[in-house]
Chains A and B, each alone.
Chain A
Amino acid sequence: MLSRVADHLYWMSRYLERAEHTARLMDVHLVQLLEQVPGLDTEQRWKRLLRSLNVTQPDADLQDIERLTRCLTVDSSSATSIMSYVVVARENAQQVREQISSEMWMQLNQLYLGITRKERRTVWSAQPYEFFTSVKEGSHLFQGITDATMNHNEGWHFIQLGRFIERMVSLADLVDSFFAYSAFAGADDYFEWLALLKSATAFEAYCKIYHADLRPDWIAEFLLFNSEFPHSARFCVEMILASLNAISDATTLHRNSRLHRLAGRLRSTLSYDEIGEVLAGDFHAYLADLKRQSMDIHETLHETFVTYSIEAALA
């Protein structure tokens, strides 16, 4: 397939995943603010949210809920709003419309039309949850339609790579920020760990394994090392490796390439590390390393399939 097409499919998928992730975090965050649960104060919560989304503080006071929310949701002039993510995802899809199925395009287009047509002011004042739900459901529907209507070919695997690399990176940021702020919450931290799990759609899945007892070490273990939960780091790296193998079969890439070695090393880390040892060491550095390894995979993927030199290819 064309290098440019692979690139657009990858970014389409990454941006849509980012939109969904942002919608989920915002949703959990705003509920926490409304319920005024004990633990952190409002300002700390906003700081933690911005850190877990890895975005810089918008030009707004940390008490100005309405303005901050707008910057992260419907403000198309802000590059880190859900609106901008959906717009960029759709622009990427637009570039490769003949490669994706018409059903996929129609779903993404309807998601876009649905959120751009909404009266902007109403998002905060009236129905923020409807907005978040429409983004999350729109993204889920798109994934389902993608799996059901597109050939599971090379292009589909680039879509998978975009989704799971984005998920891995954002999970590392999410876990890092919640552990960093856990010290401020003091003893009454149940609601904070609950928020972390809900931010990763992990609460119910976690309870099925560990029961409703929320312990930070179990939560970290679940989110990083569980092999069955689709938002865990381990699950993401398995999917990344599977897609890399499929792409190797479809292209001329050798299975012993640098790309495979990078992904294989990350899988080993996530498969064999012990949560006790990891938490006893520098957990922040550990998560930063996971993120760096994911970014290495991203960069090598680009060099291998998209930006390779023509001289090398002709040789």
Chain B
Amino acid sequence: MTAAPLLPSPFSDYTCDRACYDEMFNRDAEPRAHYQKLYERLGDLSPDELLSRQQTADLSFLHQGITFTVYGNEEGAERIFPFDLIPRVISSAEWKTIERGLTQRIIALNLFLDDIYHEGKILADRVVPYDLIYSCRHFRREMRGVKVPHGIYVSICGTDLVHLNDGQYVVLEDNLRVPSGVSYMLANRQVMKRVFPRLIADYGVRPIDHYGRALLGVLESLAPPQHHHPTMALLTPGVYNSAYYEHMFLARLMGIEMVEGRDLLVHDNVVYMRTTSGLRRVDVIYRRVDDDFLDPLTFRADSRLGVPGLFNAYRAGNIVLANAIGTGVADDKAVYYYVPDIIRYYLNEEPILANVETFLLSDPVQRQHVLQHIDKMAIKAVGESGGYGMLIGTHSTAEERAKFADLIQANPRNYIAQPILALSKAPCFIDGQIESRHIDLRPYILYDGQAVTIAPGGLTRVALRRGSLVVNSSQGGGSKDTWVLYD
């Protein structure tokens, strides 16, 4: 860390870390143009005023029950998802690039999924290796030749971006199965409107509140055309799922039923829900249950969350699932390595957003390189998400590194390696003062086969522990509101 220039109050404890991109300050420790107003406003507020706003925000989350459950703790077992008061601001130019890049990416990934579950041209042309796809844990053989509406596999996507020191946004990973967190994006904005109303108005922040309507529109567009008033439902694993709040939030936002597996049944390949007026047919399911648990007759037999016979109804075309089954193959971290090639192959364009440099450990040369420099690498299991199955070389013990080296040797296909990234830093209000913390960005992308809709901004996740690079909520992460500005 290089020596930090001194900043005026309330930033006197703030360190401008030259090793990574600082969202608010440029290299001369001057506020960037799109942060200028926020910088001034924060200068006007005393720490006590900031603290009282933080408390208002926290109380609002608590009363709305925007909480997650802490297990093994009898008293007050619910905690709020930590919220940081200071918004992250994205200029309209930056956002345009992100938007174009994400649009290009989701279109290409959908073409890719349609291809590998049908002709497999990209495999025959040797752009992506066969064995990589067929050895993927999330590849669903059962989906070969199954037609999905408009050929759309991924209609709801959340892609993780990081902002690097040279000012570029790069894609860290795609979440193409059941991405979560969008409710926090919406709730954060609701709260910010209450605690910083004037600032939002002065700034010209693009609204995000139409997300629910857009999501409903996507689900409607997937319904069979002969159904003028399709019955739609959100399938949740139930109240014990950590994202339960989000499920109920979205169902209410869209005005559709929220169902659990036990509310549904399949008869003659048609899906029904059990209502007070008898059984009612369901046409579209926004499912928040993983492939593995959807149907105990086809996938994991021990699942109690799913609906027996659902897959047959799906294959018969009697029910639409969003996202489709088998999309996980495209967010496998080893397949991720090929996404730039996938974009070039289907769209004949150069990728707008770059990937993070990635080493495939099934390749002997790359594996050798990674094993020699394992202390400077992040090692990730290809099929995992949420910060599980990871090794951060710089923050690991020799024992952990040896364990991962053995795991890699035993099953090289199951791991990839990336250099440890310098996530950008942004000002956060921590313990009564403003300090800098690492952040990332997860925008939410919707695709109905015609148009791509991206809510301006997304969820900015914050690694609240000083120096930590891990933003996942299960590991001490929080979030903050994200403002995309008008031109």
Total contacts A to B, CB within 8 angstroms? 71
Given A4-B262, A110-B63, is A98 in contact with B251 using a C-beta cutoff of 8 Å? yes
Given A98-B252, A106-B64, A113-B62, is A3 in contact with B76 using a C-beta cutoff of 8 Å? no
Whether A97 contacts B65 by the Cβ 8 Å rule is yes
- Write the nearest CB–CB distance from B420 to chain A, whole angstroms: 40
Whether B276 contacts A98 by the Cβ 8 Å rule is no
Whether B279 contacts A310 by the Cβ 8 Å rule is yes
Q: Which of B65, B252, B279 contacts A109 (CB 8 A)?
A: B65
Closest B residue to A93 by CB, please name it: B65
- Say whether B347 faces chain A, with CB atoms less than 8 Å apart: no
- Write the nearest CB–CB distance from A29 to chain B, whole angstroms: 28
Whether B251 contacts A3 by the Cβ 8 Å rule is no
Bound together, the chains give a CA A305 to CA B35 distance in angstroms of 57
Whether B248 contacts A2 by the Cβ 8 Å rule is no
Interface centre among A6, A98, A250, A308, by most chain B C-beta atoms within 10 angstroms, is A98
Interfacial chain A residues near B252, Cβ < 8 Å: 97-99, 102
Whether B278 contacts A95 by the Cβ 8 Å rule is no
Whether A2 contacts B259 by the Cβ 8 Å rule is yes
- Say whether A117 faces chain B, with CB atoms less than 8 Å apart: yes
Interfacial chain B residues near A252, Cβ < 8 Å: 277-278
Bound together, the chains give a CA A314 to CA B279 distance in angstroms of 7
Q: Which of A2, A6, A117 contacts B273 (CB 8 A)?
A: A2
Closest B residue to A304 by CB, please name it: B276
Interfacial chain A residues near B267, Cβ < 8 Å: 310, 314
Residues of chain A at interface, number, CB under 8 A: 30
- Say whether B260 faces chain A, with CB atoms less than 8 Å apart: yes
Interfacial chain B residues near A226, Cβ < 8 Å: none
Interface centre among B245, B263, B276, by most chain A C-beta atoms within 10 angstroms, is B276
- Write the nearest CB–CB distance from B257 to chain A, whole angstroms: 6
Q: Which of A4, A110, A314 contacts B263 (CB 8 A)?
A: A4
- Write the nearest CB–CB distance from B481 to chain A, whole angstroms: 19
Interfacial chain A residues near B249, Cβ < 8 Å: 98
Interfacial chain A residues near B348, Cβ < 8 Å: none
Bound together, the chains give a CA A308 to CA B276 distance in angstroms of 9
Whether A109 contacts B277 by the Cβ 8 Å rule is no
Interfacial chain B residues near A247, Cβ < 8 Å: 276
Interface residues of B in 272-308 (CB under 8 A from A): 273-279
Interfacial chain B residues near A117, Cβ < 8 Å: 76
Given A94-B239, A98-B248, A98-B258, is A3 in contact with B65 using a C-beta cutoff of 8 Å? no
Interfacial chain A residues near B277, Cβ < 8 Å: 250-252
- Say whether A105 faces chain B, with CB atoms less than 8 Å apart: yes
Q: Which of B64, B258, B265, B273 contacts A102 (CB 8 A)?
A: B64
Interfacial chain B residues near A251, Cβ < 8 Å: 276-278
Whether B65 contacts A2 by the Cβ 8 Å rule is no
Bound together, the chains give a CA A250 to CA B277 distance in angstroms of 8
Whether B263 contacts A2 by the Cβ 8 Å rule is yes
Interfacial chain B residues near A183, Cβ < 8 Å: none
- Say whether A133 faces chain B, with CB atoms less than 8 Å apart: no
- Say whether A187 faces chain B, with CB atoms less than 8 Å apart: no
Whether B63 contacts A106 by the Cβ 8 Å rule is yes
Whether A97 contacts B248 by the Cβ 8 Å rule is yes
Interfacial chain B residues near A98, Cβ < 8 Å: 247-249, 251-252, 258
- Write the nearest CB–CB distance from A60 to chain B, whole angstroms: 22
Given A98-B252, A109-B65, is A4 in contact with B260 using a C-beta cutoff of 8 Å? yes
Whether A1 contacts B239 by the Cβ 8 Å rule is no
Bound together, the chains give a CA A134 to CA B248 distance in angstroms of 28
Closest A residue to B256 by CB, please name it: A98
Whether B76 contacts A1 by the Cβ 8 Å rule is no
Closest A residue to B63 by CB, please name it: A106
Whether A313 contacts B276 by the Cβ 8 Å rule is no
Q: Which of A2, A94, A99, A102 contacts B275 (CB 8 A)?
A: A2
- Write the nearest CB–CB distance from B411 to chain A, whole angstroms: 41
Bound together, the chains give a CA A258 to CA B65 distance in angstroms of 40
Interfacial chain B residues near A4, Cβ < 8 Å: 260, 262-263, 274
- Write the nearest CB–CB distance from A195 to chain B, whole angstroms: 35
Whether A3 contacts B276 by the Cβ 8 Å rule is yes
- Say whether A238 faces chain B, with CB atoms less than 8 Å apart: no
- Say whether A154 faces chain B, with CB atoms less than 8 Å apart: yes
Interfacial chain A residues near B262, Cβ < 8 Å: 4
Whether A3 contacts B274 by the Cβ 8 Å rule is yes
- Write the nearest CB–CB distance from A160 to chain B, whole angstroms: 14
Bound together, the chains give a CA A99 to CA B263 distance in angstroms of 15
Interfacial chain B residues near A99, Cβ < 8 Å: 252
Could you name 16 residue pairs across A and B whose Cβ atoms are closer than 8 Å?
A3-B274, A3-B276, A94-B65, A97-B245, A97-B252, A98-B247, A98-B252, A109-B63, A109-B65, A110-B63, A113-B62, A116-B76, A251-B278, A252-B277, A310-B267, A310-B274
List the 5 shortest-distance A-B pairs measured between CB atoms, nearest first. Answer: A98-B252, A251-B277, A98-B251, A98-B248, A97-B248
Known A1-B257, A98-B249, A310-B279; further 5 A-B contacts with Cβ < 8 A: A2-B275, A4-B262, A95-B239, A98-B247, A106-B63
